[in-house]
Amino acid sequence: MVLTVQSAIVLATGELWLFLLQFPLANLCMCVLFARTARGPDPLVARLAAEVVALRQPATHYPGFHRFFQGATWLWAAIFLLLTAGLAVMMVTESATTFLSLSTAATVLLVIAGAGVSALRFLTVLRRLGLRLRFAQPEHSVRRVSSP
């Protein structure tokens, strides 16, 4: 629905920048969303890790683990803020075709870099806390041996 309204506005006004504005605005919204949860007891990255990759927290509370998730949440807020600023500048300085190409490349590169930094930092925190990462076996693939 939003895209339809945006497209209608662009066609009515002839101003393509109204359509392109969605890209930096979406990144700004993501920045605010991550930043709002970074200081609290339930950082967004911790929730995403639990929901997307089913990462279960250890039974024992580790403050270092919580600090990792807070820091990772701030990292992603910063990435989205950087994308917002970069896309806003490109939107007014580049043609639409160049903007779309550069915005795609910038987004992909920053997401890959952020994921890499987050993963390396996560493994470092696990090692420092003496925790190991284990992947659960799906129950249907585990064979139970019955004794005679």
| Token code pair at residue 134 | 């284990």
Within 10 angstroms of residue 85's Cβ, the number of other Cβ atoms is 14
Plot region of 14 (φ>0 → left; ψ -120 to 50 → alpha; else → beta):
left
Residues 83-127: tens digit of each pLDDT? 999 999 999 999 989 999 999 999 999 999 999 999 999 999 988
Mean of the per-residue pLDDT values of the chain: 85
| 29/23 Cα distance (integer angstroms) | 10
Residues 30-55: tens digit of each pLDDT? 999 999 999 988 899 989 988 887 77
Within 10 angstroms of residue 35's Cβ, the number of other Cβ atoms is 17
Residue with tokens 């970074």: 38
| 109/86 Cα distance (integer angstroms) | 13
Residue with tokens 């279960």: 56
This prediction's pTM: 0.79
